[in-house]
């Protein structure tokens, strides 16, 4: 079988320092180690791993050092994106060798943001930073949208995934929508409509698998590698988390089609052939 391009998307590990638990109950390091082991077991090996934000909980150097150690077993390049829980200065210092985290040469004035494009066989990945420093919600300014427009225009025939942390669409989970992408969603949709090579807009932040048509393409969020946001679409529902199965997304280029699977992480016993 010829090599297949496989982009694995992890999201929202919310890693804490060694010896700590998130919310005094959630062992996010163990959950991330479980997800990494799942990626290493994939029958078609990952070409690259992309983590779409909320890498750690408090943005400390100790947390990022812990993250680096837990990601070390991955046998392919790993590319990091910040979320609203991250501190970009500390992240860049700890992962100083990761070129895609550094200020983009083609984005003057946007050095505080993580913006990059990544060329995989048959597939381009464009990372768009939605973070507002020290705030939970996201936004896209005119300068970031102009960078996206230029970047997409540079490769109009290349199948593309655009990745962000905050989803630009309402999900019905009211308190998460309140801290979603508050500015720039309509302009983003207009940019995407002008670039039909964008086959996916992939996001994190929501700790659930959600799909929506947006800007002429398929927009989606993926599960957290740890805890999930409770499913409750009542307008006044309080925000809650629960131990639903964690997971990750596999975006695979199969027979010239981009196919996305949501994969549960953890051990679930051997595969049993049908009789």
- The answer to whether position 272 is within a domain reads no
Q: What is the mean pLDDT of residues 107-118?
A: 96
Is residue 1 situated within a structural domain?
Answer: no
Q: Is residue 139 part of a domain?
A: yes
**Distance (Å, whole) CA 199 – CA 195:** 10
- Residue 228 maps to a domain: yes
Q: Is residue 273 part of a domain?
A: no
Q: How many domains does the chain have?
A: 1
253: domain CATH number? 3.60.21.10
The answer to whether residue 18 scores a pLDDT higher than 70 is yes
Cβ proximity of 242 and 228 under 8 Å: yes
In angstroms, rounded to a whole number, what is the distance separating the alpha carbons of residues 263 and 248?
A: 5
Distance, CA of 35 to CA of 42 (rounded, Å): 11
Cα gap 110→196, rounded to integer Å = 26
The DSSP string of 75-93 is: SS-EEEE--TT--HHHHHH
> Is 107 buried (19+), middle (13-18) or exposed (0-12) by CB count in 10 A?
buried
Report if residue 275 sits inside a domain. Answer: no
pLDDT band at 259 (very low <50, low <70, confident <90, very high): very high
Is position 269 within any domain?
no
Sign of the dihedral defined by the CA atoms of residues 90, 15, 19, 240, in that order: positive
- What's the pLDDT at 3? 80
Q: Is the pLDDT of residue 275 over 90?
A: no
Is 80 exceeded by the pLDDT of residue 251?
A: yes
H or E element that contains 211: strand 210-214
Residue 35: give the domain boundaries: 6-264
Q: Please tell me the predicted confidence (pLDDT) of residue 2.
A: 52
| pLDDT at residue number 1 | 40
Across the range 98-107, mean pLDDT stands at 94
Per the rule left: phi > 0, alpha: psi between -120 and 50, beta: everything else, 172 is left
Q: Is the pLDDT of residue 95 over 80?
A: yes
Q: What is the pTM of this model?
A: 0.96
């Amino acid at each position: 079988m010829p090599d297949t391009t496989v982009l694995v998307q992890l999201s929202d590990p919310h890693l804490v320092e060694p010896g700590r638990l998130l919310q005094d109950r959630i062992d996010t390091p163990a959950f991330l180690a479980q997800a990494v082991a799942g990626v290493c077991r994939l029958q078609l090996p990952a070409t690259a791993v992309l983590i779409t934000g909320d890498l750690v909980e408090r943005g400390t150097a100790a947390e990022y050092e812990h993250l680096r150690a837990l990601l070390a077993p991955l046998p392919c390049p790993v590319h990091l994106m910040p979320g609203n829980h991250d501190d970009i200065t500390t992240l860049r210092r700890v992962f100083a060798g990761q070129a895609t985290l550094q200020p983009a040469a083609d984005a003057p004035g946007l050095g505080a943001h993580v913006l990059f494009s990544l060329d995989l066989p048959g597939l381009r990945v464009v990372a768009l930073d939605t973070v507002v420093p020290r705030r939970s919600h996201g936004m896209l300014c005119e300068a970031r949208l102009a960078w996206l427009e230029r970047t997409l225009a540079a490769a109009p025939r290349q199948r593309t995934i655009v990745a962000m942390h905050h989803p630009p669409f309402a999900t019905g989970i009211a308190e998460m929508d309140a801290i979603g992408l508050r500015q720039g969603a309509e302009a983003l949709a207009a940019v995407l409509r002008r670039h039909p090579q964008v086959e996916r807009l992939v996001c994190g932040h929501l700790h659930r698998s959600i799909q929506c048509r947006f800007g002429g393409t398929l927009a989606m969020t993926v599960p957290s590698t740890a805890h999930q946001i409770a499913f409750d679409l009542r307008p006044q529902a309080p925000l809650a988390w629960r131990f639903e199965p964690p997971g990750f997304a596999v975006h695979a280029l199969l027979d010239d089609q981009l196919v996305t699977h949501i994969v549960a992480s953890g051990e679930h016993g051997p595969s049993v052939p049908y009789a």
